[in-house]
Homo-oligomer: A and B are copies of this chain.
Amino acid sequence: MTDNDEEPSQAEGSGSPIEFYFDFSSPYGYLAAHKIDSIARLYGRAMNWRPILLGVIFKTTGAQPLLDIPIKGPYTRRDMERTARFLGLPLVFPEVMPFPSIAAARAVYWVQDRDPEKARELCLALYDRAFAQGGDIREAGAVLDCAVEIGIDRDALAAALQDPAVKERLKTENEAAMAAGVCGSPFFVVDGEPFWGADRLDHLERWLATGGW
């Protein structure tokens, strides 16, 4: 307890961390990343940022990338742009979508083991490069450029991206995500309750506010 009556208080940090699963190639994941970051702070919850590879998960669920599906593809592109405007966030599509996000995901886990707050910064920087600026973050070089801008050591990260242990780490995380029921991006788990989609942030926020319903 503090003398500050404002609530919810960021300082309290009650409850388990919000698990946030996302693919760097997912525009809805980018939109949700900014929102969940604010929501977590507002409700004083820690967050685990967990990049995943949807392509691997889609092999199990049989899903295709949304933008490639007849009829759904054009609708989805329009919905992504409308949702960005609805949420007040910039959105510029990169040239290639979906794109391979394996280097970005590996980088995040390596940074996270050393400095979780820096990993959060890296996630937002990579997402913004891809979807606020429409940039290309497919190759290791582009990921390293982003990392250097927020003070991460380029050579150490470059070496890590080639490290079999780091590659294995992402594989393990992806398998754990699938085992936890993650079927898309963004996907959240709050106190055991799963929420799939940027369009479930309303449910998630009410869940945090009320403890469930």
> Residues on A close to B: CB < 8 A?
57, 60-64, 69-72, 74-75, 78-79, 82-83, 85-86, 178, 181-184, 194, 196-197, 199-200, 202-203, 206, 213
Assembly CA distance A178 to B182 (angstroms):
30
Whether B70 pairs with A196 at a CB distance below 8 angstroms is no
Main secondary structure of the interface of A (DSSP, over half): helix
Whether B86 pairs with A213 at a CB distance below 8 angstroms is yes
- A72 contacts across to B, CB distance below 8 A: 61, 63, 183-184
A31 to chain B, nearest CB (A): 13
Q: Of B178, B199, B200, which one neighbours A71 at CB under 8 angstroms?
A: B178
Q: Of B61, B74, B184, B199, which one neighbours A197 at CB under 8 angstroms?
A: B199
Q: Of B62, B82, B194, B197, which one neighbours A78 at CB under 8 angstroms?
A: B194
Nearest B-chain residue to A198, judged by Cβ = B199
What are 14 sample pairs from A and B whose C-beta atoms fall under 8 A apart?
Answer: A61-B69, A61-B70, A62-B69, A63-B72, A71-B182, A72-B183, A74-B181, A75-B183, A75-B196, A78-B194, A79-B196, A82-B213, A83-B203, A86-B206
